Structure 1
């Protein structure tokens, strides 16, 4: 996903602005607008941008190991974010797409995307402070 349209980056920025102010309804509303305009693939692009924002520059080689203590006991959305971010870190788009599709099929994609946005903001805050 290196050749994303500018609209994807604008949508990701809108999601982050809403998450920064704690407006979960606006985060979900932005994702809903993206789905209406560009389908689930558009929302996937925005989520991939959020993972990129969270991790920053990652090595080009795959095989990155991320540590998520206690992840197996976490809620679905938290486990999903950990796995989605790991897929991004490993440049494993097929796994990212599979996770995205599974969350949509389970009816839990809005919760997962909201958690992803919140986790991205929390990561950015921890880097700044």
Structure 2
């Protein structure tokens, strides 16, 4: 594992630890620390890692059709997470990067990343039960 990959995993762990504790400010702070150190590209890497964590080891490799009933009526951040996770599931980094950039340009990236972290924790909890 490269130092960058290890740093990304450490950063993702910090985000998830805060999300697990219900500390939204901690999630945003962890992402802010990544941006300060590695720019938006670093935050994108952490978000991509969270999508991988959410889907787990049994995720289909490409051509995945994920079902999100009512997604068109959902809030921006929820639609973003669904589309970002779908991009990951379909190994479509170009779409993931475009979604990430659009959320940043819209000023909604912190909300989207907070929802992604919360969704990842909810998914991990549902697997335990």
Deviations 1:60-118 (A, max 9, x none): 3x210000000000000000000000000000000000000000000000000000000
Q: Does 1:101 align with 2:62?
A: no
Aligned length, in residue pairs: 127
Deviations 1:26-46 (A, max 9, x none): 000000000000000000000
Distance of 1:100 and 1:52 partners within structure 2:
16
Distance of 1:50 and 1:74 partners within structure 2:
21
Aligned position for 2:75: 75
SS at match of 1:122: helix
Which TM-score applies when normalising by structure 2? 0.95
Q: RMSD value over aligned CA atoms?
A: 1.2
Distance of 1:20 and 1:63 partners within structure 2:
31
Which TM-score applies when normalising by structure 1? 0.95
Distance of 1:17 and 1:35 partners within structure 2:
18
Deviation at 1:5, TM superposition (A): 1.9
Deviation at 1:59, TM superposition (A): 2.8
Aligned position for 2:15: 15
Aligned position for 1:59: 60
Aligned position for 2:91: 91
Q: Which runs of 5+ in 1 are unaligned?
A: none
Distance of 2:120 and 2:13 partners within structure 1:
11
Distance of 1:59 and 1:47 partners within structure 2:
19
Distance of 1:102 and 1:71 partners within structure 2:
18
Deviation at 1:47, TM superposition (A): 0.2
